[in-house]
Chains A and B, each alone.
Chain A
Amino acid sequence: MRTKLLTALAALAASGFLYGSVAAQTNTAPSGDPKHGYAVYVVQGCYECHGYQGQGNGRRGQGGGGGDVGPIIAPKPPAWASFVKQVRTPRQIMPTYSTNILSDKDAADIYAYLLSIPDAKDPKAIPLLNGVTLTPTGAIAR
Chain B
Amino acid sequence: MGKKRSGGVDRRSFLAGIGAAGAATVAVAKPGEAQTAEKAIAPKSAAEARLLAQAETAQTQSAQVQFQSVPEGTVRNPGSDFMIDCMREVGIEYVAAIPGSTFRGLQESVIAFDGRKPEWITVTHEEISGAMAHGYYKASGKPMALMVHNSVGTQHAAMSVYDAWADRAPMMILTGNYADATQRMAGAEWYHSKVDDAEMLRGMLKYDDQPASLQHFEESIMRGAGLMMTPPMGPIFIVADQKLQEDGFAQFPKMRKFVAPTPPVADPNAVAQIAKMLVAAKNPVIVVDRSTRSQTDVQNLVKLAELLQAPVVDKLGRLNFPTNHYLWSPLPVVASADVILALDVGDLFGTVAEVADNRARRTVSRIKDGTTVIAIDSELLIPGGNYQDKQRFYQADLPVAGDSAATLPVLIEAVQRAMPDARRNENPQRAEVRKKAWIARRELDLKGAAVGWDSVPISVARMVMETYNAIKPYKWAYVSGSSFQNNWAQRLWDMTDHGHYLGSSGAAGVGYTCGASIGAALAHKGDGTICVSIHGDGDFMMGPGFLWSAAHHKLPLLTVVHNNRAWHNETMFVQVVAGDRDRHPERGRIGTVITEPNIDYAKVAQGFGVYAEGPITQPAQLGPALQRAVAMVRSGHPALVDVVSQPR
Contacts of B527 in A (CB 8 A): none
Residues A139 and B306 in contact, CB atoms below 8 Å apart: yes
Annotate A87-107 by CB proximity to B: 1 below 8 A, 0 otherwise. Answer: 000101111111011000000
Residues A138 and B572 in contact, CB atoms below 8 Å apart: no
- Min CB distance A79 to B, Å, is 19
Q: Is B453 at the interface (CB under 8 A from chain A)?
A: yes
Minimal Cβ-Cβ distance residue in B for A102: B585
Minimal Cβ-Cβ distance residue in A for B419: A142
B452 partner, pick from A49, A55, A60, beta carbons under 8 A = A55
Q: With A57-B486, A58-B448, A67-B648 in contact, do A93 and B356 touch (Cβ < 8 Å)?
A: yes
- Min CB distance B285 to A, Å, is 14
Q: Is B262 at the interface (CB under 8 A from chain A)?
A: no
Residues A72 and B451 in contact, CB atoms below 8 Å apart: yes
A93 partner, pick from B358, B439, B446, B488, beta carbons under 8 A = B358
A66 partner, pick from B327, B328, B486, beta carbons under 8 A = B486
Contacts of B449 in A (CB 8 A): 58, 123, 129
A58 partner, pick from B307, B322, B486, beta carbons under 8 A = B486
B442 partner, pick from A53, A54, A67, A134, beta carbons under 8 A = A134
User: Helix, strand, loop or mixed for chain B's interface?
Assistant: helix
Residues B582 and A66 in contact, CB atoms below 8 Å apart: no
Residues A132 and B358 in contact, CB atoms below 8 Å apart: no
Q: Is B620 at the interface (CB under 8 A from chain A)?
A: no
Q: How far is the CA of A44 from the CA of B571 in the complex (A)?
A: 12
Q: How far is the CA of A141 from the CA of B424 in the complex (A)?
A: 9
Residues B450 and A101 in contact, CB atoms below 8 Å apart: no
Q: Is B380 at the interface (CB under 8 A from chain A)?
A: no
A120 partner, pick from B328, B424, B452, B483, beta carbons under 8 A = B452
Query: Which residue of A48, A122, A141 has the most chain B CB atoms within 10 A of its CB atom?
Result: A48
Q: Is B295 at the interface (CB under 8 A from chain A)?
A: no
Contacts of A142 in B (CB 8 A): 307, 416, 424
- Min CB distance A37 to B, Å, is 15
Q: Is A63 at the interface (CB under 8 A from chain B)?
A: yes
Contacts of B571 in A (CB 8 A): 45, 48
Contacts of B452 in A (CB 8 A): 51-55, 120
Minimal Cβ-Cβ distance residue in B for A74: B451
Q: How far is the CA of A135 from the CA of B325 in the complex (A)?
A: 9
- Min CB distance A102 to B, Å, is 9
Q: How far is the CA of A64 from the CA of B335 in the complex (A)?
A: 12
Annotate B628-648 by CB proximity to A: 1 below 8 A, 0 otherwise. Answer: 000000000000000000111
Q: How far is the CA of A57 from the CA of B309 in the complex (A)?
A: 29
Contacts of A63 in B (CB 8 A): 330-332
- Min CB distance A115 to B, Å, is 15
Contacts of B417 in A (CB 8 A): none
Q: Is A133 at the interface (CB under 8 A from chain B)?
A: yes
Q: Is B101 at the interface (CB under 8 A from chain A)?
A: no
Annotate B299-328 by CB proximity to A: 1 below 8 A, 0 otherwise. Answer: 000110011010000000000001011111
Minimal Cβ-Cβ distance residue in B for A75: B451
- Min CB distance B637 to A, Å, is 26
Query: Which residue of B454, B455, B575 has the most chain A CB atoms within 10 A of its CB atom?
Result: B575
Q: How many B residues have CB within 8 A of the partner chain?
A: 78
Q: How far is the CA of A58 from the CA of B327 in the complex (A)?
A: 21
Among B196-204, B247-255, B458-466, which stretch is in contact with chain A?
A: B458-466
A140 partner, pick from B328, B427, B450, B485, beta carbons under 8 A = B427
Annotate A21-50 by CB proximity to B: 1 below 8 A, 0 otherwise. Answer: 000000000000000000000011101110
Contacts of A97 in B (CB 8 A): 579, 585
Residues B647 and A136 in contact, CB atoms below 8 Å apart: no
Among B1-9, B490-498, B529-537, B553-561, which stretch is in contact with chain A?
A: B490-498
Q: How far is the CA of A31 from the CA of B463 in the complex (A)?
A: 35
Q: How far is the CA of A67 from the CA of B484 in the complex (A)?
A: 7
Contacts of B494 in A (CB 8 A): 133
Contact-size category for A: 35 or more
- Min CB distance A14 to B, Å, is 17
Contacts of A140 in B (CB 8 A): 306, 309, 427-428, 431
B483 partner, pick from A56, A59, A67, beta carbons under 8 A = A67
Interface residues of B in 436-489 (CB under 8 A from A): 438-439, 441-455, 457, 459-462, 465-466, 468-469, 483-488
Minimal Cβ-Cβ distance residue in B for A98: B582
- Min CB distance A128 to B, Å, is 5
Contacts of A1 in B (CB 8 A): none
Q: How far is the CA of A66 from the CA of B424 in the complex (A)?
A: 33
Minimal Cβ-Cβ distance residue in B for A57: B486
Residues B455 and A137 in contact, CB atoms below 8 Å apart: no
Contacts of A94 in B (CB 8 A): 576, 579
Q: With A63-B332, A93-B576, A101-B582 in contact, do A132 and B442 touch (Cβ < 8 Å)?
A: yes
Q: With A58-B486, A123-B446, A136-B325 in contact, do A45 and B309 touch (Cβ < 8 Å)?
A: no
Q: Is A4 at the interface (CB under 8 A from chain B)?
A: no
Q: With A58-B461, A63-B331, A121-B453 in contact, do A137 and B324 touch (Cβ < 8 Å)?
A: yes
Residues B427 and A65 in contact, CB atoms below 8 Å apart: no
Q: How far is the CA of A126 from the CA of B327 in the complex (A)?
A: 27
B325 partner, pick from A68, A95, A138, beta carbons under 8 A = A138
Contacts of A126 in B (CB 8 A): 450, 453
**Top 4 A-B residue pairs of the complex, sorted by shortest distance between their CB atoms:** A58-B448, A95-B579, A53-B452, A65-B330
Extra pairs beyond A49-B647, A51-B459, A69-B648 (18, CB < 8 Å): A45-B588, A47-B646, A51-B451, A55-B452, A55-B455, A59-B444, A59-B445, A67-B648, A68-B483, A69-B647, A95-B578, A97-B585, A120-B450, A121-B450, A129-B492, A133-B324, A137-B325, A138-B306
25 residue pairs A–B, Cβ–Cβ below 8 Å: A47-B646, A49-B648, A51-B451, A58-B448, A58-B449, A58-B488, A64-B330, A64-B441, A65-B487, A66-B486, A66-B487, A67-B485, A67-B486, A96-B582, A97-B579, A98-B582, A100-B582, A101-B584, A121-B450, A121-B454, A129-B449, A129-B450, A132-B492, A136-B439, A138-B326
